[in-house]
Protein backbone atom coordinates (compact mmCIF):
# COMPACT_ATOMS: atom_id res chain seq x y z
CA UNK A 1 0.00 0.00 0.00
CA UNK A 2 2.88 2.35 0.75
CA UNK A 3 4.18 1.76 -2.77
CA UNK A 4 0.75 2.37 -4.29
CA UNK A 5 0.34 5.66 -2.40
CA UNK A 6 3.53 6.99 -4.01
CA UNK A 7 2.33 6.16 -7.52
CA UNK A 8 0.11 8.03 -9.92
CA UNK A 9 -3.42 6.75 -9.32
CA UNK A 10 -3.93 6.48 -13.07
CA UNK A 11 -1.17 3.91 -13.57
CA UNK A 12 -1.49 0.17 -13.91
CA UNK A 13 1.25 -0.23 -11.31
CA UNK A 14 -0.89 1.68 -8.79
CA UNK A 15 -3.80 -0.73 -9.28
CA UNK A 16 -1.44 -3.70 -9.15
CA UNK A 17 -0.22 -2.67 -5.70
CA UNK A 18 -3.77 -1.90 -4.56
CA UNK A 19 -4.67 -5.39 -5.72
CA UNK A 20 -1.86 -6.90 -3.64
CA UNK A 21 -3.07 -5.02 -0.58
CA UNK A 22 -6.66 -6.15 -1.15
CA UNK A 23 -5.52 -9.74 -1.71
CA UNK A 24 -3.50 -9.75 1.51
CA UNK A 25 -6.49 -8.23 3.32
CA UNK A 26 -8.72 -11.09 2.10
CA UNK A 27 -10.84 -8.85 -0.13
CA UNK A 28 -11.00 -11.12 -3.16
CA UNK A 29 -13.45 -9.19 -5.33
CA UNK A 30 -11.65 -5.91 -4.66
CA UNK A 31 -8.30 -7.52 -5.53
CA UNK A 32 -9.77 -8.90 -8.76
CA UNK A 33 -11.15 -5.46 -9.66
CA UNK A 34 -7.77 -3.83 -9.08
CA UNK A 35 -5.88 -6.49 -11.04
CA UNK A 36 -8.37 -6.28 -13.90
CA UNK A 37 -8.08 -2.51 -13.97
CA UNK A 38 -4.28 -2.72 -14.03
CA UNK A 39 -4.56 -5.12 -16.98
CA UNK A 40 -7.03 -2.82 -18.75
CA UNK A 41 -4.37 -0.09 -18.53
CA UNK A 42 -2.04 -2.49 -20.40
CA UNK A 43 0.20 -2.94 -17.37
CA UNK A 44 2.41 -5.96 -18.07
CA UNK A 45 4.16 -7.39 -15.05
CA UNK A 46 4.95 -11.03 -14.28
CA UNK A 47 4.16 -10.38 -10.60
CA UNK A 48 0.70 -9.12 -11.48
CA UNK A 49 0.02 -12.21 -13.58
CA UNK A 50 1.34 -14.57 -10.88
CA UNK A 51 -0.51 -12.85 -8.01
CA UNK A 52 -3.75 -12.85 -9.97
CA UNK A 53 -3.23 -16.53 -10.82
CA UNK A 54 -2.72 -17.41 -7.15
CA UNK A 55 -5.83 -15.43 -6.19
CA UNK A 56 -7.93 -17.37 -8.71
CA UNK A 57 -6.53 -20.78 -7.71
CA UNK A 58 -6.72 -20.21 -3.95
CA UNK A 59 -10.33 -19.08 -4.19
CA UNK A 60 -11.53 -21.84 -6.54
CA UNK A 61 -12.21 -19.40 -9.35
CA UNK A 62 -11.45 -19.72 -13.07
CA UNK A 63 -8.61 -22.18 -13.64
CA UNK A 64 -8.70 -21.49 -17.37
CA UNK A 65 -8.03 -17.81 -16.76
CA UNK A 66 -5.40 -18.70 -14.13
CA UNK A 67 -3.54 -20.80 -16.69
CA UNK A 68 -3.69 -17.99 -19.26
CA UNK A 69 -2.33 -15.49 -16.73
CA UNK A 70 0.55 -17.64 -15.52
CA UNK A 71 1.50 -18.40 -19.12
CA UNK A 72 1.77 -14.63 -19.68
CA UNK A 73 4.02 -14.35 -16.61
CA UNK A 74 6.27 -17.08 -17.99
CA UNK A 75 6.31 -15.49 -21.43
CA UNK A 76 7.36 -12.17 -19.86
CA UNK A 77 9.92 -13.71 -17.46
CA UNK A 78 10.89 -17.26 -18.44
CA UNK A 79 13.74 -17.33 -15.91
CA UNK A 80 11.66 -16.91 -12.72
CA UNK A 81 11.18 -20.21 -10.94
CA UNK A 82 8.15 -19.06 -8.93
CA UNK A 83 6.20 -18.70 -12.18
CA UNK A 84 6.72 -22.37 -13.04
CA UNK A 85 5.89 -23.36 -9.46
CA UNK A 86 2.62 -21.46 -9.75
CA UNK A 87 1.86 -23.02 -13.12
CA UNK A 88 2.46 -26.43 -11.56
CA UNK A 89 -0.11 -25.59 -8.89
CA UNK A 90 -2.66 -24.59 -11.53
CA UNK A 91 -2.03 -27.83 -13.41
CA UNK A 92 -2.58 -29.80 -10.21
CA UNK A 93 -6.05 -28.27 -9.92
CA UNK A 94 -6.65 -29.15 -13.57
CA UNK A 95 -5.72 -32.78 -12.75
CA UNK A 96 -2.62 -32.76 -14.95
CA UNK A 97 -0.04 -34.36 -12.63
CA UNK A 98 2.59 -35.03 -15.32
CA UNK A 99 2.48 -31.45 -16.59
CA UNK A 100 2.52 -30.17 -12.99
CA UNK A 101 5.64 -32.24 -12.24
CA UNK A 102 7.29 -30.93 -15.41
CA UNK A 103 6.70 -27.36 -14.24
CA UNK A 104 7.92 -28.08 -10.71
CA UNK A 105 11.11 -29.37 -12.29
CA UNK A 106 11.44 -26.17 -14.34
CA UNK A 107 10.87 -24.14 -11.17
CA UNK A 108 13.80 -25.82 -9.46
CA UNK A 109 16.00 -25.42 -12.57
CA UNK A 110 15.18 -21.70 -12.49
CA UNK A 111 16.21 -21.26 -8.87
CA UNK A 112 13.00 -21.95 -6.94
CA UNK A 113 14.19 -23.07 -3.51
CA UNK A 114 11.12 -23.13 -1.25
CA UNK A 115 10.11 -26.60 -0.04
CA UNK A 116 7.47 -28.34 -2.11
CA UNK A 117 6.09 -31.45 -0.45
CA UNK A 118 3.72 -32.02 -3.37
CA UNK A 119 6.63 -32.20 -5.81
CA UNK A 120 8.45 -34.60 -3.49
CA UNK A 121 5.45 -36.90 -3.03
CA UNK A 122 3.84 -36.77 -6.44
CA UNK A 123 6.76 -36.32 -8.79
CA UNK A 124 9.86 -37.78 -7.21
CA UNK A 125 8.58 -40.88 -5.44
CA UNK A 126 5.55 -41.79 -7.52
CA UNK A 127 5.92 -42.67 -11.19
CA UNK A 128 3.05 -45.18 -11.41
CA UNK A 129 -0.50 -44.87 -12.64
CA UNK A 130 -1.73 -44.57 -9.06
CA UNK A 131 -0.55 -40.94 -9.16
CA UNK A 132 -4.21 -39.99 -9.53
CA UNK A 133 -5.08 -41.50 -6.16
CA UNK A 134 -2.14 -39.67 -4.62
CA UNK A 135 -3.14 -36.43 -6.36
CA UNK A 136 -6.71 -36.97 -5.17
CA UNK A 137 -5.42 -37.43 -1.62
CA UNK A 138 -3.35 -34.24 -1.91
CA UNK A 139 -6.29 -32.25 -3.25
CA UNK A 140 -8.57 -33.70 -0.59
CA UNK A 141 -6.16 -32.60 2.15
CA UNK A 142 -6.14 -29.12 0.57
CA UNK A 143 -9.96 -29.13 0.81
CA UNK A 144 -10.21 -28.94 -2.99
CA UNK A 145 -12.92 -31.61 -2.97
CA UNK A 146 -14.34 -31.23 -6.52
CA UNK A 147 -10.80 -31.45 -7.91
CA UNK A 148 -10.04 -34.47 -5.71
CA UNK A 149 -13.15 -36.25 -7.03
CA UNK A 150 -12.02 -35.61 -10.62
CA UNK A 151 -8.64 -37.12 -9.84
CA UNK A 152 -10.19 -40.18 -8.17
CA UNK A 153 -12.48 -40.60 -11.20
CA UNK A 154 -9.44 -40.81 -13.49
CA UNK A 155 -7.84 -43.26 -11.07
CA UNK A 156 -10.95 -45.44 -11.20
CA UNK A 157 -10.85 -45.47 -15.02
CA UNK A 158 -7.21 -46.63 -14.85
CA UNK A 159 -7.76 -49.26 -12.12
CA UNK A 160 -11.39 -50.31 -11.93
CA UNK A 161 -10.70 -52.93 -9.25
CA UNK A 162 -9.08 -50.61 -6.71
CA UNK A 163 -11.44 -50.24 -3.77
CA UNK A 164 -9.19 -47.51 -2.40
CA UNK A 165 -10.16 -45.15 -5.25
CA UNK A 166 -13.85 -45.72 -4.57
CA UNK A 167 -13.41 -45.36 -0.82
CA UNK A 168 -11.45 -42.11 -1.12
CA UNK A 169 -13.89 -40.69 -3.66
CA UNK A 170 -16.68 -41.50 -1.24
CA UNK A 171 -14.95 -39.58 1.53
47-57 residue pLDDT tens:
999 999 999 99
pLDDT at 171: 81
Query: How many Å apart are CA 124 and CA 127, to the nearest integer?
Result: 7
pTM across the whole model: 0.84
Average pLDDT value for residue range 91-102: 93
For 59, which DSSP code? T
CB atoms within 10 A of CB 59: 14
pLDDT of the residue at 6: 67
Q: Is the dihedral of CA 164, 97, 101, 61 positive or negative?
A: negative
Mean pLDDT in the chain? 88
Q: How far is CA 19 from CA 33, 96, 100, in A?
A: 8, 29, 27
pLDDT band at 5 (very low <50, low <70, confident <90, very high): low
| pLDDT tens profile 29-49 | 999 999 999 999 999 999 999
Q: Are 90 and 103 a contacting pair, CB within 8 Å?
A: no
Q: What is the pLDDT of residue 16?
A: 94
Amino acid sequence: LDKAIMLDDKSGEFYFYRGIYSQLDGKVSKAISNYEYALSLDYKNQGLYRNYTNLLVNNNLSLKKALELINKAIELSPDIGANYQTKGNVLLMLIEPDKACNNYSKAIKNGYKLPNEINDALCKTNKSKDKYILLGDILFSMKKHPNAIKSYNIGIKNEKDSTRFYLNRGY
